[in-house]
Amino acid sequence: MPSISQRGKDMPQSPIRKLVPLSNAAKKRGVKVYHLNIGQPDLPTPREGLEALKHIDRTTLEYSPSEGLLSLRQKLKGYYDRFNINVDVDDIIVTAGGSEAVLFAFMACLDPGDEIIVPEPAYANYMAFAISCGAKIVTVPSSIDTGFALPSVEDFEKLITPRTKGILICNPNNPTGYLYTMKEMIQLRDLVKKYDLYLFSDEVYREFCYTGAPYISAFHLPGIEEQVVLIDSVSKRYSECGIRIGAIITKHKQLKESIMKFCMARLSPPLLGQIVAEASIDADKDYMLMNYNEYVERRKFLIDGLNRIPGCYSPIPMGAFYTVASLPVDDAENFCRWCLEEFEYEGDTVFMAPANGFYTTPGAGKNEVRIAYVLCKEDLAAALRVLAAALEAYPGRIKA
């Protein structure tokens, strides 16, 4: 029998999705599963987007340009203007979701063996996309004890080698919900400038910042404009994960030309998704404010509830809609599996993402989980009751 590729063997499973078969089996047994594992918002998609989908007036569903529809890119420019992200329409390339944006950015910027430094815990698919193009993610650890603040400049510099091509951040952060400060962003700016690196900045959660301070984009940092590769997506801000529309934004002309080769090879981003995304950008301010206020309330409710459970701890996330929490268990992945395979409380159980899959450092995150607060408060309350009961009953609980 022919063997599979080494790349396929090295590709990690998603910590967000790998326990889905266990969840499906629990549902078949009649157990209600509260999904805290995945960042799938339950809030409605903008009416404007849904109406555009219902009233598509085309006789042929054709290819779009490989860089995306001009009308969508023009709308996106106007959207970025609202955040003082000063880019031109030609700086914007539409992709099949933020995931393709990361993959194409890596493929265009990195050669096999090149390295990217990423604070961990980090979105697990970054590692998968690096493996896909033969590059290597080198992680610099952050800690739950400091709320997952950016590691020191010295910690980054220890990891820089001749193979280092860039630093990658997610701001606000997935999985931790951390929001980088202006001081931290300036430190990153100085690092990439000093060592002539790319700054890959995943900014798909920019609407969800809870500090009251102005949002800081990588494009707000003077002096590195052509070194910034911004990753974006409409999935989270408009609850449109399924339309698969994202974007790469770069002012680096040669890099843009290189990315376009990959875009041409995959032909075009999804036409219907682009139509929905373009219309959704016209959603009124009340739509975004409603979503923002809802996540603020959910965040407070979840974090307060988690920190009242004996042995649990979560720092207060300042962005996105995730938190990483430590649990009083010997192994969080085993606990998550046990919750789905063996445990139920009044007919319910809970599905969380083991946080070890967001680390590359062996043993890191062993007693941590990522929780997405994308459920209504009533469901979050029920999930917290189930979690508290599960921790009481779990054989591998660590006693205080």
> What pLDDT sits at residue 400?
65
| One domain, residues 146 and 197 | yes
| One domain, residues 261 and 292 | no
Last residue of a domain, one of 280, 311, 326: 280
> What pLDDT sits at residue 378?
98
**pLDDT digits 0-9 by tens, 349-391:** 999 999 999 999 999 999 999 999 999 999 999 999 999 999 9
Name the residue range of residue 228's domain: 47-280
pLDDT band at residue 243 under the 50/70/90 scheme: very high
pLDDT band at residue 348 under the 50/70/90 scheme: very high
| One domain, residues 36 and 157 | no
Share the mean pLDDT of the chain.
96
Q: What is the rounded distance in angstroms from the CA atom of residue 110 to the CA atom of residue 121?
A: 22
Do the domain assignments include residue 400? no
| One domain, residues 208 and 300 | no
Q: What is the rounded distance in angstroms from the CA atom of residue 199 to the CA atom of residue 193?
A: 9
Last residue of a domain, one of 257, 280, 303: 280
Q: Which amino acid is at 397?
A: R
Do the domain assignments include residue 117? yes
Q: Is the pLDDT of residue 169 over 70?
A: yes
Q: What is the rounded distance in angstroms from the CA atom of residue 330 to the CA atom of residue 134?
A: 34
| Mean of pLDDT values over 2-25 | 88
| One domain, residues 264 and 345 | no
- Residue 113 burial by Cβ neighbours in a 10 Å radius (0-12, 13-18, 19+): exposed
The domain that contains 231 carries what CATH number? 3.40.640.10
Q: Is the pLDDT of residue 398 over 80?
A: yes
Q: Which amino acid is at 59?
A: T
**pLDDT digits 0-9 by tens, 171-215:** 999 999 999 999 999 999 999 999 999 999 999 999 999 998 889
> What pLDDT sits at residue 212?
84
Do the domain assignments include residue 333? yes
- 3-state class of 228 per DSSP? strand
Do the domain assignments include residue 355? yes
| One domain, residues 299 and 240 | no
pLDDT band at residue 7 under the 50/70/90 scheme: confident
Q: Which residues, including other chains, have CB under 8 Å from residue 315's CB and lie 6 or more apart? A: 144, 147, 148, 176, 323
Q: Is the peptide bond before 172 cis (omega within 30 degrees of 0)?
A: yes
Q: What is the rounded distance in angstroms from the CA atom of residue 194 to the CA atom of residue 390?
A: 50
| One domain, residues 355 and 318 | yes
Q: What is the rounded distance in angstroms from the CA atom of residue 268 to the CA atom of residue 352?
A: 35
Contact predicate 332/367, CB 8 Å: yes
- 3-state class of 299 per DSSP? helix
User: How many domains does the structure of the chain reveal?
Assistant: 2
Q: Which amino acid is at 24?
A: N
Last residue of a domain, one of 248, 280, 312: 280
Cα-Cα-Cα-Cα torsion 26, 28, 29, 35, nearest 10 degrees, comes to 30
Do the domain assignments include residue 346? yes
| One domain, residues 307 and 241 | no
| One domain, residues 269 and 313 | no
**pLDDT digits 0-9 by tens, 108-138:** 999 999 999 999 999 999 999 999 999 999 9
Q: Is the pLDDT of residue 316 over 90?
A: yes
| One domain, residues 210 and 265 | yes
DSSP code of residue 158: T
Q: What is the rounded distance in angstroms from the CA atom of residue 380 to the CA atom of residue 43?
A: 14
| One domain, residues 340 and 354 | yes
Q: Which amino acid is at 32?
A: K
Do the domain assignments include residue 300? yes
**pLDDT digits 0-9 by tens, 49-93:** 999 999 999 999 999 999 999 999 999 999 999 999 999 999 999
| One domain, residues 305 and 174 | no
The domain that contains 302 carries what CATH number? 3.90.1150.10
Q: Which runs of E-coded beta strand occur in the chain?
A: 32-35, 92-95, 115-120, 136-141, 164-170, 198-202, 228-233, 246-250, 322-326, 348-351, 353-354, 368-372
Q: Give exposure, 251-275, as e/b (b: 16+ Cβ within 10 Å).
A: bbeebbebbbebbeeeebbbbbbbb
**pLDDT digits 0-9 by tens, 14-45:** 877 889 999 999 999 999 999 999 999 999 99
> What pLDDT sits at residue 399?
80
> What pLDDT sits at residue 297?
98
